[in-house]
Amino acid sequence: MGPGGAGGGGGTFVSGAGPRGGSEPGPHRPRRAVTEATAEAVALSMHGRITAQAFSFDQQFKPYQKDEFVLAFFNDPNVNSSLKLLSPSGQWTTLGSKVTKIEAIVVPCTQISMSFFDRLYTEGLVRETGHIVKCYDEYYDDILISDELRKVLLLEDSEHYDLFSQSDRKEFLFCLFKHLCIGGALCQFEDMLGPYLETTKALYKDLVSVQKNPETKEISITSTVFRVSAYDEDGLRYPSGRSHEQTFSYLAVDPCRRHVHALYHCYGGSALCS
């Protein structure tokens, strides 16, 4: 990583996110775990268009220097040559160009329990059996809505939209859940809520790091999450040259283990990713 890097000075990003120096990974094995969780997402209609990668870095991460950190991340040779994205033709390629500008939006990440979604049951959007309540088909932009779950996720005039507050909807856990529920352009929706919750939980656990207070035993999240975009001299380059609600990349930075997890998805067919 070049000047103004992870800690404001020089540094390096390494693909894989294992400890430096060639030692064996500790209990947290991000590369393997993220791959397994992403495989679950494939079953939820994002086949061939979603990937997760892990990197390590060797400088202190300072949240107030997030823009410098993210710019250095994209321009680090190890990242630039290996960070995956879909080409306009729908083929996997790598970033491979100098990034001149970035956008890094902080995504709140405080939730530590899947009970966050229990309200879907208590308010009747999901039956006790786990079946998602259906509704008449309608569209939000080009996204088909055929059940009450997607209505509450997408439609502000939905009867149950206020079930989740604006601050709830900004949470990384909610964002992951929403992305998985909406899925890809050729989405075959699940009838049951279970697969969405299970995949959300798996991805969240693999992307986000936690620590336990030895005195209070309370668990807190140590990762900082950004939703990112990168521009080169020709304009928006990453995650895609064309914006869409379901085209995204998140960077989850673990300042203690000095890991970065990159979660990427590009919506639709090749025409939508040009």
- The predicted-structure confidence for 236-271, as pLDDT tens digits, reads as follows 999 999 888 999 999 999 999 999 999 999 987 644
- Between residues 161 and 18, which one has the greater pLDDT? 161
Q: Which H, E and C letters describe the chain, residue by residue?
A: CCCCCCCCCCCCEEECCCCHHHCCCCCCCHHHHHHHHHHHHHHHHHCCCEEEEEEEECCCCCHHHHHHHHHHHHHCHHHHCCCEEECCCCCEEECCCCCCEEEEEEECCCCCCHHHHCHHHHCCCECCCCEECEEEEEEECCEEEEEHHHHHHHCCCCCCHHHCCHHHHHCHHHHHHHHHHHCCCCCCCCCECHHHHHHHHHHHHHHCCEEECCCCCCEEECCEEEEEEEEECCEEEECCCCCCCCCEEEEEEECCCCEEEEEEECCCCHHHHC
pLDDT band at 189 (very low <50, low <70, confident <90, very high): confident
pLDDT band at 8 (very low <50, low <70, confident <90, very high): very low
pLDDT of the residue at 144 = 87
pLDDT of the residue at 190 = 82
